[in-house]
Amino acid sequence: MARDPKYDILFEPIQLGPKTMKNRFYQIPHCNGFGSEKPLSQAYFRAMKAEGGYGACCTEYCSISPESDDTHRVSARLWDDDDIKNLSVMCEMLHEHGALAAAELWYGGPHAPCMESRCVPRGPSQIPSDFEYLTYPKEMDKDDIRQVQQLYVDAAKRAREAGFDIVYVYGSHAYLPQQFLTPYYNKRTDEYGGSFENRARFWRETIEQVREAVGDDTAIAVRMSTDMFMGESGTQLERDCLPFVELVDDIVDVWDINVSGISEWGEDATPSRFYPSGRMLPWQEAVKKISKKPVLGVGRFTNPDLMIEAINEGKLDIIATCRPSISDPWLPRKIDEGRLDDIRECIGCNICISRWEIGGPPLICTQNATAGEEYRRGWHPEKFDPAENADNDVLVVGAGPAGMECAMILGKRGMRRVHLVEADDDMGGIMRWIPQLPGLGEWARLVNYRKIQIDKLRNVEFVPGTTLDANGVKEYGAEIVVIATGAYWATDGLNGCTHDTIPGADAAQPWCLTPEQIMRDGKEVPGDKVARNAGTGPESRTAAAWPGPANSVAEKRSRPYAPEAIAAGMQIIKKQKAHPLKMRLCLLKQRLSGS
Ligand SMILES: Cc1cc2nc3c(=O)[nH]c(=O)nc-3n(C[C@H](O)[C@H](O)[C@H](O)COP(=O)(O)O)c2cc1C
Ligand code: SF4
């Protein structure tokens, strides 16, 4: 199908300083857990988005020096020549698809825990991080300022050498340049603190130096948070950001505008439960009004109508996406091909970012199971190899999200016949009622996307209103059976502290309730005292000790993984561990030399 002409604007090229971006789709900096040390995973992950039509793709935050080391989390790095080699694979693969490559140069100041490097980061003032535990910077003197600016310059040169087309001087999320701009972090009394001009000096000088270092063939991007929601002490749009745009507009090639500081950065990657798409448009529009340079911005953009509205109304030039690009790396291509019903829209659940917060392991996504497995397992979200045993029939029991995903993928892999059998009258399982809870309407996308795909597959049949017991499954006649009957809350108080049930707990009683009983079935909550058993320990003990019938005892019990699945996972982890950096560089050399 052809694209709807109303979306043409999204596919117009745009100039970013010396570089031309082929359309208006930009994959914003975001982590994936690969950094520079898993260069092929990094490259394949980003390239999937370029293959899916993105005009530019960026690294995650990319450390410029061991002084800015985010270990235990995983960031990209441009510390030395090996990092150049590793990240050059990403650039090369992006270029093969006609996309620009961007690197987000990052110096964290107090927010860099430096657990691997053991360095002490430098900052505008000696104030500990409001985000990390026990991390603090050394207050910079003038020599320190020159040295740290040189770190930016050196990293920018490395980025250029690796093949990046765009380098950021990244301030947003309260990192070093923005710490200088922000009174909350900057308590200096010299020419780098106090007045706006002084607080802006470090960032302005750094941008100037980076621009000079990379010459006239690399674009300079600045990511700025235009509101930290901290009142007077945080960065503010009118007082700090708009004057800063006016101050450096002539040396910046593209502005990347968002909101939030570091502690409240859920204000940036906002869950759908609390904010609609496009919620940062007022701030982005304010910058767009005064800048002569292109402005790009995020806002969980999945709907092409909202995208064109933002551009046509002069609020943005470029649609930047993080989570929508994880959930569907082929978003631009599907809009281009008029396949809007195939878009796998991000549901705003924030499982992706929650996982980064616990330490930056490889990314996962609720909507896109292939995310992060493009290289290691060779998974593709849109292309499917025929299964080797495709001449078999499959019975999938249970049409909740897992059963639907399973039937859909098996259908796409060409199994002879797939029957998706469900006791209820429709697909969706738990996701039929959860989206009805306040703020969770967008989670219904999980079911809608799969339903549409399943409807299109001739080899997949949905069989509603059918309950199968073991004999029924056996008699059904399929060669392959998949059980996907889901998870449920325990009714007996089983808990994570004692690993045991709670004596007397029984959700058949009126005083004992599971979340499903309350939220789905409308079971009345009696009495005026509630003991909550959320499963980690103390709550369970409270519940056990609580006398009488006012207890609410609930524990989520999910199906354990099959031992085979654990064993398969271990094999894959071993495979990756057996490929340390040197091995990956060998692969890289082979790839570069075409051998
Ligand atoms: C998994 C994840 C990792 C992120 N990592 C970074 C990062 O490395 N650098 C950065 O500037 N922002 C990062 N962000 C913030 C995003 O760039 C973006 O501002 C935010 O997700 C809102 O955009 P969206 O609504 O399109 O998701 C990250 C967000 C997510 C969800
Ligand atoms: S669907 Fe959830 S996990 Fe996937 S990108 Fe969106 S917010 Fe992240």
Q: What would the 3-class secondary structure string for 330-395 be? A: CHHHHHHCCCHHHCCCCCCCCHHHHHHHCCCCCCCCCCCCCCCCCCCCCCCCCCCCCCCCCCCEEE
**Residue 568: per-residue pLDDT:** 42
Enzyme catalytic residues: 175
Q: DSSP letter at 512?
A: -
pTM (2 decimals)? 0.90
Contacts of 504 (CB under 8 A, 6+ apart): none
Whether residue 407 has pLDDT greater than 70: yes
Cα Rg for the chain, rounded, in angstroms? 26
**Residue 573: per-residue pLDDT:** 39
**Residue 319: per-residue pLDDT:** 98
The fraction of the chain above a pLDDT of 70, given in percent, is 89
**What is the mean pLDDT of the segment spanning 475-489?**
94
Q: 122 CA to middle of ligand 2, Å?
A: 34
**What is the mean pLDDT of the segment spanning 494-512?**
91
List, chain by chain if needed, residues with CB within 6 Å of any ligand 2 atom: 323, 326-327, 346-352, 365-367
Token pair listed for 496: 């994570």
**Residue 589: per-residue pLDDT:** 38
Contacts of 574 (CB under 8 A, 6+ apart): none
Do 435 and 443 meet the contact criterion of CB atoms below 8 Å apart? yes
Whether residue 459 has pLDDT greater than 70: yes
199-248 confidence digits (pLDDT tens): 999 999 999 999 999 999 999 999 999 999 999 999 999 999 999 999 99
- Given this structure, which CATH class describes domain 14-357? alpha beta
3-state helix, strand, coil in the chain (%, to 5): 40, 15, 50
Q: Give the closest residue (by CA) to ligand 1 atom 11.
A: 29
**Residue 134: per-residue pLDDT:** 81
User: What Cα–Cα distance (Å) separates residue 41 from each residue in 183, 197, 307, 585, 595?
Assistant: 39, 43, 30, 13, 20
Q: Give the closest residue (by CA) to ligand 1 atom 6.
A: 30
Q: Give the closest residue (by CA) to ligand 1 atom 22.
A: 269
The fraction of the chain above a pLDDT of 90, given in percent, is 82
102-151 confidence digits (pLDDT tens): 999 999 999 999 999 999 999 999 999 999 888 999 999 999 999 999 99
Whether residue 582 has pLDDT greater than 70: no
**Range scoring the smallest mean pLDDT among 172-181, 289-298, 483-492, 585-594:** 585-594
Do 317 and 256 meet the contact criterion of CB atoms below 8 Å apart? no
Round to whole Å and give the CA distance between 520 and 531: 20
**Range scoring the smallest mean pLDDT among 325-334, 356-365, 390-399:** 356-365
Q: 30 CA to middle of ligand 1, Å?
A: 5
**Residue 265: per-residue pLDDT:** 84
Which ligand 2 atom sits closest to the C-alpha of 367? 1
Q: Give the closest residue (by CA) to ligand 1 atom 28.
A: 30
**Residue 1: per-residue pLDDT:** 81
Residue 144 burial by CB count (10 A; 0-12/13-18/19+): exposed, middle or buried?
Answer: middle
Which ligand 1 atom sits closest to the C-alpha of 75? 8
Round to whole Å and give the CA distance between 375 and 578: 15
Q: Which residue has the higher pLDDT, 530 or 84?
A: 84
**Residue 72: per-residue pLDDT:** 87
Nearest to 251 by CA among 300, 210, 311: 210
Q: Give the closest residue (by CA) to ligand 2 atom 4.
A: 365
Whether residue 586 has pLDDT greater than 50: no
Mean of the per-residue pLDDT values for the chain?
90
**Range scoring the smallest mean pLDDT among 155-169, 447-461, 541-555:** 541-555
Q: Which residue from 367, 405, 449 has its CB within 8 A of the most atoms of ligand 2, so it is best to mutate?
A: 367
**Range scoring the smallest mean pLDDT among 34-48, 212-226, 560-574:** 560-574
Q: Which residue from 268, 273, 302, 327 has its CB within 8 A of the most atoms of ligand 2, so it is best to mutate?
A: 327
Ligand nearest to the CA of 370: 2
Three-state secondary structure readout of 220-256: EEEEEECCCCCHHHCCCHHHHHHHHHHHHHHHCCEEE
**Residue 583: per-residue pLDDT:** 35
Q: For domain 393-487, give the CATH number.
A: 3.40.50.720
Q: 348 CA to middle of ligand 2, Å?
A: 5
Q: Give the closest residue (by CA) to ligand 2 atom 2.
A: 349
**Residue 591: per-residue pLDDT:** 36
CATH 3.20.20.70 residue spans of the chain = 14-357
Q: 413 CA to middle of ligand 1, Å?
A: 32
Band of pLDDT at residue 532, cut at 50, 70 and 90: confident
Band of pLDDT at residue 355, cut at 50, 70 and 90: confident
Q: 465 CA to middle of ligand 2, Å?
A: 31
Q: 29 CA to middle of ligand 1, Å?
A: 6
CATH 3.40.50.720 residue spans of the chain = 393-487
List, chain by chain if needed, residues with CB within 6 Å of any ligand 1 atom: 28-31, 60-61, 104, 172-173, 223, 258, 268-269, 298-300, 321-324, 352-353, 356
